[in-house]
Copies of this chain bind each other. A is one copy, B any other.
Amino acid sequence: MQKEDLIATKNRITPFIHRTPVLTSRLLNDIAGAELFFKCENFQRMGAFKMRGAVNAVLQLSEEQKMRGVVTHSSGNFAQALALAAQSIGVKAYIVMPENAPQVKKDAVRGYGGQIIECASSPIAREEVAAQVEKETGAFFIHPSNDRDVILGQGTAAMELLEDHPDLRFLFSPVGGGGLIGGTALAAHFFGNNCQVIGGEPFEADDAYRSLLSGQIETNDSTNTLADGLRTQLGDINFPIIQHYVEKIIRVEETEITAAMRLIWERMKIIVEPSSAVALAAFLRNKAEYAGQKVGVILSGGNIDVNHLPF
């Protein structure tokens, strides 16, 4: 994936996404001892960066593929993103969701015109059902994070941030399935001015941290973290990018995630989901290393059930 691929991606998806604002906060800068620039993907369409990659993947299909539709498996933001992206482009979307997924998420997918196919809640069941839908309908399968076009799409958030603030020295992103941090790392490499990308990951789902150490894709035995968007593991397309272009991954405790989320809510008056707060928590854990520097932080999304907050 080259510079030109990112530029073409950005031009392609622009009509279908929001250029999200970059917010700053004096109070948070004082706490951070650095200049923080928050890329607010919580204000993105459907409430998360996932819209970028989903739109890009759907737009890359041939006309014939578009007529047959798209399919994915996700219980989270990618389910909504693919449904809305497909709807916006006039394509049918089949979304395989675990039968125990929250009703509010199912309602959101249906609200965006997606057709839900329920499955058992294991990763294997999801993949099997998605493969079955693919076979029966001819729909094109799009993986939520381990897909070239999805990774390129996610990278456009960092491209926009670096357009607005070209002199960022560091850029923090949460690490889940690897699509966002992979795209972010590519964008920083091609468009940053010596900008280091650092990942934030919960101790409770630190597969990416361990993968960088071992040199192979590791899995999580359990994923007991508030940051529900980060419970997934890396894939064979994004892992090499992460190995090559990500400086390091910092792990954070659950209490640090809650504290960072609370800071953002109370000081910036914006709603972010726990996965987003992981990037700020990682920065804060090591903040002495970045004293006085310009630091970008990707706030990945804002989809949270306000009836079930961690504080």
Quick check: is A306 within 8 A (CB to CB) of the other chain?
Answer: yes
A269–B269 touching, CB < 8 Å: no
Quick check: is A47 within 8 A (CB to CB) of the other chain?
Answer: yes
Q: Contacts A270-B269, A271-B269 known; A306 to B307 CB distance under 8 Å?
A: no
List 20 contacting pairs A-B, 8 Å CB cutoff, sorted by A. Answer: A21-B21, A42-B269, A43-B268, A43-B269, A47-B269, A262-B306, A265-B271, A265-B306, A266-B306, A269-B270, A269-B271, A269-B272, A269-B302, A270-B270, A270-B271, A271-B271, A306-B309, A306-B311, A307-B311, A309-B309
A→B interface (CB under 8 Å):
21, 42-43, 47, 262, 265-266, 268-272, 302, 306-307, 309, 311
The residues of B that contact A272 with a CB separation of less than 8 Å are 269
User: In the complex the two chains form, what is the Cα distance from A43 to B24 in whole Å?
Assistant: 11
**What is the count of identical protomers in the complex?**
2
User: In the complex the two chains form, what is the Cα distance from A87 to B42 in whole Å?
Assistant: 33
The residues of B that contact A270 with a CB separation of less than 8 Å are 269-271
User: In the complex the two chains form, what is the Cα distance from A279 to B296 in whole Å?
Assistant: 35
User: In the complex the two chains form, what is the Cα distance from A271 to B272 in whole Å?
Assistant: 10
Please give 12 more A-B residue pairs, beta carbons under 8 A apart, in addition to A269-B270, A270-B271. A21-B21, A42-B269, A47-B269, A265-B271, A266-B306, A269-B271, A269-B272, A270-B270, A271-B271, A306-B309, A307-B311, A309-B309
User: In the complex the two chains form, what is the Cα distance from A270 to B269 in whole Å?
Assistant: 6
User: In the complex the two chains form, what is the Cα distance from A302 to B267 in whole Å?
Assistant: 9
The residues of B that contact A311 with a CB separation of less than 8 Å are 306-307
> Chain B residue with minimal CB distance to A42?
B269
The residues of B that contact A269 with a CB separation of less than 8 Å are 42-43, 47, 270-272, 302
User: In the complex the two chains form, what is the Cα distance from A21 to B24 in whole Å?
Assistant: 13
The residues of B that contact A42 with a CB separation of less than 8 Å are 269
The residues of B that contact A21 with a CB separation of less than 8 Å are 21
User: In the complex the two chains form, what is the Cα distance from A266 to B47 in whole Å?
Assistant: 9
The residues of B that contact A265 with a CB separation of less than 8 Å are 271, 306
Complex A-B, nearest 5 residue pairs according to Cβ-Cβ distance, in ascending order: A269-B302, A269-B271, A42-B269, A270-B270, A265-B306
The residues of B that contact A266 with a CB separation of less than 8 Å are 306
User: In the complex the two chains form, what is the Cα distance from A262 to B272 in whole Å?
Assistant: 15
User: In the complex the two chains form, what is the Cα distance from A290 to B208 in whole Å?
Assistant: 52
The residues of B that contact A306 with a CB separation of less than 8 Å are 262, 265-266, 309, 311
